[in-house]
Amino acid sequence: MDESGPLLRARELCVAFGGLQVLNRVSVDVPQAGVLGVIGPNGAGKTTLFNTVCGFVRPESGSILFDGKPLRPRPHRLTRLGIARTLQGLGLFPHLSVLENVIAGASHLVRTGAVAAMLASPWAERREHRVRDRAMEVLETLGIAADAHRVCASLPYGIRKRVALGRALISEPRLLMLDEPAAGLSATETTELAGILRGLRERTAVMLVEHHMEFVMNLCDELVVLDFGEVIAHGTPGATRADPAVQRAYLGETVGVADA
């Protein structure tokens, strides 16, 4: 483990779709502990950056180091590397319970299905119990333990968003990546989510991509601002908000920078 450097270091990432340069030499550092927010207007390239780090998008050039080692992300291998993510939207199994959805995030720990059932070894059973207990702990952290046995489809959106977060957290990631975690949440739910994420920062580093400035202002330790695929500012939330380039980028947006 490289304690001195950042946990994730992306350098000079370039991504183009067709003729469109969507990321142009984008560099970000996620510190070992703390929350990095990547903000910017719609279409700035935030999701593309997120997808590049997760391995959904292959950059044309640039490098990513995780823990000081080159990261060649593959979406299905992220959890094992210590990275978990939630996507824009939910991606839950609507007809499974809250608990089952969270356990699904631990698929690298539980071998369910025919083989496990046939063997039915006490060892496999013990491990499943552990995973279940761990899933319940995660639900407690998120304040939704009471909903553990309810079917996801029957629950309000705000709760389902927490289930999606729980599914990422059960793998005990060193880096948690969130794409617009506050999208679709009420003001109260957004404040509660910020509280939950603040509580996690001792255990896991967070990189979150977000359109809304207010949400990230009080939550993030550092911000990177993207506009048209380029980093136009980075630093503490206070300094970033005051940056004229950032204010210009957000001009005409419904999210006011001055009154955030």
Which residues here bind ligand ADP, judged by CB under 6 A?
17, 20, 22, 40, 42-48
What residues pair up with 177 in beta bridges, in sequence order? 85, 207
- Contact in structure between 106 and 171 (CB atoms under 8 Å): yes
Q: Near Mg ion by CB under 5 A, which window of 40-48, 65-73, 116-124, 134-142?
A: 40-48
Shortest reach from residue 138's CB to ligand ADP, in Å: 27
User: By CB under 5 A, is residue 47 in contact with Mg ion?
Assistant: yes
> Which CB atom, from 26 or from 142, has the smaller least distance to ligand ADP?
26
Rounded Cα distance between 53 and 11, Å, is: 11
Rg (CA), the chain: 19
> Which CB atom, from 153 or from 251, has the smaller least distance to ligand ADP?
251
Scored b (16 or more CB within 10 A) or e, 41-69 reads beebbbbbbbbbbbbebebeebebbbbee
> Which CB atom, from 110 or from 183, has the smaller least distance to ligand ADP?
183
Residue whose beta carbon is closest to Mg ion: 47
243 token code pair: 């940056």
157 binds, among ligand ADP, Mg ion, none (CB under 5 to 8 A by kind): none
Shortest reach from residue 47's CB to ligand ADP, in Å: 3
User: By CB under 5 A, is residue 48 in contact with Mg ion?
Assistant: no
Tell whether the torsion through CA atoms of 31, 37, 39 and 45 is positive or negative: positive
Rounded Cα distance between 245 and 248, Å, is: 5
Tell whether the torsion through CA atoms of 89, 93, 95 and 99 is positive or negative: negative
111 token code pair: 């071998």
> Which CB atom, from 57 or from 164, has the smaller least distance to ligand ADP?
57
Shortest reach from residue 235's CB to ligand ADP, in Å: 19
86 binds, among Mg ion, ligand ADP, none (CB under 5 to 8 A by kind): none
Shortest reach from residue 16's CB to ligand ADP, in Å: 9
Contact residues toward Mg ion (CB under 5 A) are: 46-47
